[in-house]
Amino acid sequence: MDLQYLLLLQKFRDATGGVLNDFFLQISDLSYGIFIWMLACILFWAVDKKTGSYLFLNIAVNRFLMQLLKLTFCVYRPWVRSAEIVPVETASGYSFPSGHSVTSASNYGTVLARYGKKHRPLGAFMIVMLLLTMFSRNYIGVHTPQDVAVGAALGLAVVFLGIRAWEWIDEKPGRERIIPIAGVVLTVLFLVYISLKSYPMDYDEAGKLLVDPAKMMKDGYKDAGRILGVSLGWYLERRYVRFSTDVPALTKVTRCGVGVLLLMLYELAFMPAVTGAVSVGWIGFVLTFGELIGLMTVYPLCFSRLEAVCGRDRGRQAA
């Protein structure tokens, strides 16, 4: 039944000459990769620090759980299950659950949970974007309905339960230590699990592996690095940096402009260069861990100290 639905969408694409293909590809791309971290960074550095931290944590936890499910169930993509399925673009790895649905639920769900009641049009827009993202993965032909439904449900559950957990942590000093401890424990257990478990070794007619477990484990290492980086980065900033978003508009713009540029250079230039030069699977873990520590602790430490120095200099000049 699930594949019949994808075939129905495929017939619609063919009948319309793929007129909506680019639109749904762009909708899909907005929920993954560098874009999800951009929103978290802008909120965290300059707009609403608490919501930004929630977003970082929710994305990291959701991606971690998504990889855990993918590497546990090892469900093949729709076109592997049926040669009749011809996707608009292919995707690597396992199919269940949809990573784009998980991360879009993290992104749009966090904004909805934090601002939806006060800003209903924004909340409605977040719901529409989530639904469009889910549908886009079916329309493109890379996920079944159950892939996107479970992905979105997982993402939203983590968002709404997570916000309650973060609020509970804020109620009493000392509880924040739970986050880095949990991050370390979960990372170690996850890495041991994905390294020792068995994976299906099925081949196509040309003798090529349908899904290479080694590549999927590398993706798992990356998200393990993310959850460890976010949990430690959140704690270190909260404990030692303590920057404020209550700053002039120009300062906010400068923080975001410089920070987003650095993020783009890291994601689009530095990481590909390093992973292309170093074949060790664990390099992805190191790179993503460093990225999240940098976004949540190192960069805030740098701009807060620089702003303090510039403020003192302006004070002396005024005197």
Contact call for residues 34 and 264 (beta carbons, < 8 A) = yes
Alpha carbon distance 138, 6 (integer Å):
6
pLDDT at site 234: 95
| Domain assignment present for 317 | no
Alpha carbon distance 96, 60 (integer Å):
18
pLDDT at site 165: 87
| Domain assignment present for 237 | yes
| Domain assignment present for 257 | yes
The answer to which of 106-115, 143-152, 164-173 has the lowest mean pLDDT is 164-173
**What is the per-residue pLDDT across 152-165, written as a single tens digit (0 to 9) for each?**
999 999 998 988 88
Cβ atoms < 10 Å from Cβ of 20 = 15
Structure tokens at 290: 């460093």
Q: Which domain holds residue 253?
A: 2-301
- Where helices occur in 116-177 by DSSP H, the ranges are 120-140, 145-170
| Domain assignment present for 307 | no
| Domain assignment present for 285 | yes
Query: Which whole number is the average pLDDT over 165-181?
Result: 88
Q: What's the domain count of the chain?
A: 1
pLDDT at site 312: 61
